[in-house]
Amino acid sequence: MVKFTVVGGDASSNLAKRIASKLKAPYIKTGKKVFPDGESKITINQIPKKSIVIVVQSTYPPVDTNLLELLSIVSKIQKFSSKIYAVIPYMGYARQDREFLGGEIVTIGVVGKLLKATGVKKVLTVDIHSKLALKELKIPSDNVSAMESLVRHVKKIKMKDPLVVSPDLGGQERAEKFASLLKTEFITLEKHRDRKTGKVNILSEKVDVRNRDLILVDDIISTGGSIIKATQFLKKQKCGRIFVACTHALLVNDAAKKIKNVGVSEIISTNTIPGESAKVDVSKVISDALR
């Protein structure tokens, strides 16, 4: 009898195949057709054998479409298995984990309700934005870290006197872990984001980074605003080269180009979101957590 069956959603099919191969589990692919009005038609042509069914689908943009596709797959699978785990490598809405301004809806809580209602018994994600987001899901859930895998990749780059930098206080713990794995030091910048406009500013005044190669570490790069402002600030302090490592490279619109234009040498991210910078594979860390 097989223990697991892996079903890959359209947003994460390559990663899902890798997870299935690591778990030595059968892999079921899904089909997708998008109608002119934007609706998706999802198909699953194979019925999973009696097993724990792992549905893999990240919810990067188009966030709501990818989320609805995940929910649709789960609601179909639920007819054949009572044990469904949702692996959501990049969890959209995790940054909406609290009411920052009056009247805001904590949408990650709604995502949790939807997952539960369609039949998900457990959620596994990678480097979720905050512990609070995981708690707000209100469904059994686990979070695994891609930091060790990212560090393994970064170690291959020949850097001069490397220093890890967190662009903000929220990322300090992550940067500390990254630096300790890289056997080097870290610093944290002070960042301010205007909650209404989304604009970012670096409030730090002076840091000692002269001639050192830097590695900016973050969980998510979305518009690139945080990395761009941090890079501009660090360049003024006469640092060496700047590399960027993150788990989830959303890189919306032309964020990657803008980041390169301010002088970042390389962006390194994971395959929670496919793309040019996704050089680090998280299938092992995910499958190890599922076993």
Task: Decide whether 62 or 170 has the Cβ nearer to ligand R5P.
Answer: 170
Catalytic residue, chosen from 155, 191, 199, 284, is 191
The binding track of 223-262 with respect to ligand R5P, each residue x by CB under 6 A or -, is xxxx------------------------------------
Residue 170 lies near ligand R5P (rule: CB under 6 A): yes
Task: Decide whether 83 or 258 has the Cβ nearer to ligand R5P.
Answer: 258
Task: Decide whether 130 or 180 has the Cβ nearer to ligand R5P.
Answer: 130
Q: Is the dihedral of CA 225, 67, 50, 141 positive or negative?
A: positive
Residues in the interface with ligand R5P (CB under 6 A) total 15
Q: Which of 66, 72, 222, 247 binds ligand R5P (CB under 6 A)?
A: 222
Residue 215 lies near ligand R5P (rule: CB under 6 A): no
In 3D, which of 240, 239, 258, 249 has the Cα closest to residue 200?
A: 258
Q: Phi-psi region for residue 168, left (φ > 0), alpha (ψ -120 to 50) or beta?
A: beta
Residue 220 lies near ligand R5P (rule: CB under 6 A): yes
Residue 107 lies near ligand R5P (rule: CB under 6 A): no
Residue 115 lies near ligand R5P (rule: CB under 6 A): no
Output Rg (C-alpha) for the chain, integer angstroms.
20
Q: Could you give the count of Cα atoms lying within 13 Å of 134 in the half-sphere of its Cβ?
A: 18
Q: Is the dihedral of CA 103, 107, 110, 116 positive or negative?
A: negative
* Strands of 4-8's sheet in order across: 40-44, 27-34, 4-8, 52-56, 84-88, 120-126, 141-144
Taking the C-alpha atoms of residue 177 and residue 287, their distance in angstroms, rounded to an integer, is 22
Near ligand R5P by CB under 6 A, which window of 57-65, 118-126, 218-226, 261-269? 218-226
Residue 128 lies near ligand R5P (rule: CB under 6 A): no
The yes-or-no answer on residue 191 being catalytic is yes
Q: Which of 16, 20, 182, 221 binds ligand R5P (CB under 6 A)?
A: 221
Q: Which of 10, 69, 136, 218 binds ligand R5P (CB under 6 A)?
A: 218
Residues 78-97 that bind ligand R5P (CB under 6 A): 95
Taking the C-alpha atoms of residue 54 and residue 127, their distance in angstroms, rounded to an integer, is 19
Taking the C-alpha atoms of residue 123 and residue 270, their distance in angstroms, rounded to an integer, is 19
Which residues, 6+ apart, have CB-to-CB distance to 212 below 8 Å? 160, 161, 162, 163, 239, 240
Chain residues binding ligand R5P by CB under 6 A are 95, 167-168, 170-171, 200, 218-226
Residues with catalytic roles: 191
